[in-house]
Every structure is written in structure tokens, then in C-alpha cells.
Structure 1
Amino acid sequence: MSGLAFLIPVALLLGLGGLGAFLWALRGGQFDDLDGAALRILIEDDKKNGADR
């Protein structure tokens, strides 16, 4: 029983920490452009590939 008295507050603090990190990322604009990263791989960039040599 004493183990639960320790583990329940620890679990609640970790959950609140995860929620805080999610809200921080949400306010920081981390999830604003979900399609941009998926489409960026399709754009050819000749300078990065070394084709300009």
C-alpha cells in the first residue's frame, strides 16, 4: 500500500508533464504545417544532391 502512495503522485506528475510539453509544442507552432514535411521530400534540390558539379 505504501508503494501506491508513492507511485500515484509520480504517475500524475509525469502525466501533467507530458500534457505541459504537448501544450508548449502546440503554442510554439510545432503542429502548424503537417503537410509541408511530407511534401518536402518530393521536391528535388539539385544543389543538395551534388548535381551542380
Structure 2
Amino acid sequence: MTILYLLIPLSLILLGLAVWAFFWAVKHDQFDDLEGPAHRILFDDDENDLPPEQRAERKKNVSSSQDNQEPPV
């Protein structure tokens, strides 16, 4: 019977931590896109993960490096 004096407050503390973790995850947008990561693994290119600025810079670098290559003989 005396163990209940320990287990009840401990369970309430754990419940409070679980509720806090859930609200923290909701507040920090952890549940916004549930299907995106599952579909993203199917694509080979990683360009979809880049912001538009880096995507444009990468395309510019790739096109300039292709311009500098000599054609095969």
C-alpha cells in the first residue's frame, strides 16, 4: 500500500512530461507533413530538398562546367 504513495506521483509526473512533449511537437510543426518524407525517398535526385536559391546556383554551376568541357573526339 505504501508503494502507491510513490507510484501515483511518479505516474502523474510522467503523464505531465508526455503531454508537454506532445504540445512541444505540435508547436514546433513536427506533424505538418506526414507523407512527404515517405514519398521523398522514392526520388533519386536531392534537388527537391534544396531551397530555390541553392537549386538555381547548382544549375548555374552545372551548366557552366558543361560549357567548359571539350567535346569528345
TM-score, normalisation: structure 1: 0.79
- The residue correspondences of 1:1-53 to structure 2 (distance < 5 A) are 1-45=1-45
Distance 1:40 1:19 in 2: 30
Gaps spanning 5+ residues in structure 2: where?
47-73
Residue identity over aligned pairs, in percent, reads 50
Could you tell me how far apart the structure 1 residues matched to 2:37 and 2:4 are?
43
| TM-score of the aligned structures, taking structure 2 as reference length | 0.59
What are structure 1's unaligned runs of at least 5 residues? 47-53
The structure, 1 or 2, with the larger RCO (C-alpha pairs under 8 Å, 6+ apart) is 1
Q: Please say which structure displays the higher CA radius of gyration.
A: 2
| TM superposition outliers: structure 1 runs of 4+ over 3 Å | none
